[in-house]
Amino acid sequence: MAIGAPKISTAAAKPHLIRVSKAAAQFEREPLVRPFGFKGNYLTELWQIATRLTSASGNTATGLATQSVLYGDAELFAAHTEMKGNAMMFALVQKTLDIVKATAFTTPVDLQEKILPRVIAAGKEITGRAQLHYNFILNALVSIDNAAWLLYAAENGYKTFNEMIPAPYRAALGYRNKQIAVLFQVPYSMPVADVVKAVEQGYFIIKIKTGYPGSQEEMLAFDMQRLTEIHHALKDLPASNTAHGRIWYTMDANGRYAEKDTLRKYLSHAKTIGAFDRILLYEEPFREDLTEPVNDLGVRLGADESVHSEKDALQRISQGYSVLVLKGIAKTLSLSMRIAKLAEERKIPCLCADLTVNPVLIDWHKNLAARLAPFPGIGMGLMETNGDMNYKNWAAMKSYHPAAGAPWMEVQQGVFDLGPDFYARSGGILEEVKHYDDLFR
C-alpha cells in the first residue's frame, strides 16, 4: 500500500556536520550448515563485522555487515584460502576507518562519495589486485555505512528510518507495503525434497541458483537438469498468493553466463518442459563485459552485481534490463538509495536480494524493501533472505536482535507481514544490539 512520502522532521533540511573522533571494528566467524555454492564456488563461513563510530559530539553508533568475499570478487576468493580473503576484506574495513576519521560529512551518502577514491586505492594495495572488483570495496563499506547512518540519526535527532531518509530519496522510498514476498533460495546442492517442503510451508517464489561450477557446457547441462528436477516436483503444487495459482521461479547466475546464446538454450529448455511461463525474472545472467542488447530474450532480466553506480544502472537499462536488484546489505544502503531514486524516476521495479546476512541486517534490508513500489505480478514488496537455512547458529543469532520474537521477523506463508509496530520501531535497527556492542567492551 502506497501512502506517499513519509513525514520528515524539519531538522532534516539542515543536517549537522559530523566528525568521527573514534572508530573501531571487530568480527565474529559464523559457520554455515553446509558449503554454500554460487558463482561457481563455495563458502563455508561468513564473517559478521561490527564497526563502532564515535562522533566529536559524543554520540556512538555500531553498524553491522556480513562479509562475502565470494560475492565481492570471485577471482580473489578462488586465489586464496577463505580465511585469507576474509582477512583482507577486514583489513580494508580497518584502513577505511582511518579515512573516515579524517573526513567530515553531513549524510552517509556524502561520506561515501568523499572517501571512495581512497578506499578503492587502499583495497587494491591490501589485496595486490589492480583489477579488484568494485563489489569487494562496497561490501567492505557496509558496516561503516550502517554505523554512519545510525550516527547521522543520533546527531540529528531522528528516531525512525522514515525520518533519516534524506529529501532526494523520499519519493523512491515513499511506499508502505503491508507484506513482503520472500524469495526462497535454492543453492546447487539443496535436495529437491527441501524445495517441496518450502512450498508446502507457503513459499511461492523459488529462486534457483544457476551458473554451476565448471565449463560453460558443464554449467548449462547442470542448470537445465536442475530446472527439470525442480519443475517436475513443483509444477502441480498450488500457490494461493499468485494470480495464476502456481509457483513463480526466479534464477540467478551471478554473472556466470558468457553469451546470450547460452541463456537462450536454457530458456528454450524451460519452454520444452513447461517452466518458461513460471519465470518471474532472471537475475544477472551474464558476465559484466557483455554489453549487447538483452531485450529480445522474452524474460524480465535483473541487474545486480554489475550495478555499482547510477552510470552502471543506466547502462543496464539501455541494454534492456527491466529490474534493478538492490543490495543494501552488500553494497551499502547509501548506494541502494541512489539506485532506488534512479529506478523510481524511470519506473523500473526493484527488489532486494540477500547476501546470507544476519537477522539484524535482514531488518535493515526489510526497511528498504518495505518502502519500494510493489513488484509487478506480485503486488507487494519482494526480497530474498536465506540465513535461516544456512547458518549453523541461526537461533542464537536471532536472539541478538533487539526485537527478537517480533512477528515481523518470521516468514508466514511465504511473506513477512509488516504491521504498524514494524514501521514504528523501524524493524529495531535503530536500537542497541547488545551482543555486537559487547564486542567493544
C-alpha cell recorded at residue 27: 568480527
Closest CA to 328 of 373, 276, 384: 384
Name the strand (E) or helix (H) holding 271.
helix 260-273
- The answer to whether 248 and 205 are in contact (CB under 8 A) is yes
Instruction: Please report which confidence band the pLDDT of residue 16 belongs to, taking 50, 70 and 90 as the band edges.
Output: confident
- The answer to whether 342 and 314 are in contact (CB under 8 A) is yes
| pLDDT of 243 | 82
Q: What is the pLDDT of residues 128-140, one digit of tens each?
A: 999 999 999 999 9
Distance CA 389, CA 394 (A): 8
Mean pLDDT of all residues in the chain?
95
Spell out the domains of the chain, with CATH numbers in brackets. Answer: 10-156 (3.30.390.10), 168-440 (3.20.20.120)
Distance CA 99, CA 49 (A): 18
Q: What is the pLDDT of residues 267-298, one digit of tens each?
A: 999 999 999 999 999 999 999 999 999 999 99
Helices 134-156 and 108-127 meet at what angle, rounded to 10?
150
Q: Mean pLDDT throughout 239-261?
A: 93
Instruction: Please report which confidence band the pLDDT of residue 429 belongs to, taking 50, 70 and 90 as the band edges.
Output: very high
Residue 7 has pLDDT above 60, yes or no: no
**Residue 194 φ/ψ, nearest 5 degrees:** -70, -30
| pLDDT of 242 | 86
| pLDDT of 13 | 52
C-alpha cell recorded at residue 252: 540467478
Report percent pLDDT > 90 for the chain: 93
Distance CA 301, CA 255 (A): 12
Q: Mean pLDDT throughout 244-266?
A: 96
Residue 8 has pLDDT above 70, yes or no: no
C-alpha cell recorded at residue 271: 519452454
**Which alpha helices (H) appear in 80-205, and where do they start and end?**
82-101, 108-127, 134-156, 192-200
Q: What is the pLDDT of residues 60-73, one digit of tens each?
A: 999 999 999 999 99
Closest CA to 176 of 410, 369, 385: 369
Within 8 A by CB and 6+ apart from 351, the residues are: 183, 302, 323, 325, 326, 369, 372, 375, 381, 382, 383, 384
Label residue 330 exposed, middle or buried (CB < 10 Å: 0-12, 13-18, 19+).
buried
Instruction: Please report which confidence band the pLDDT of residue 2 belongs to, taking 50, 70 and 90 as the band edges.
Output: very low
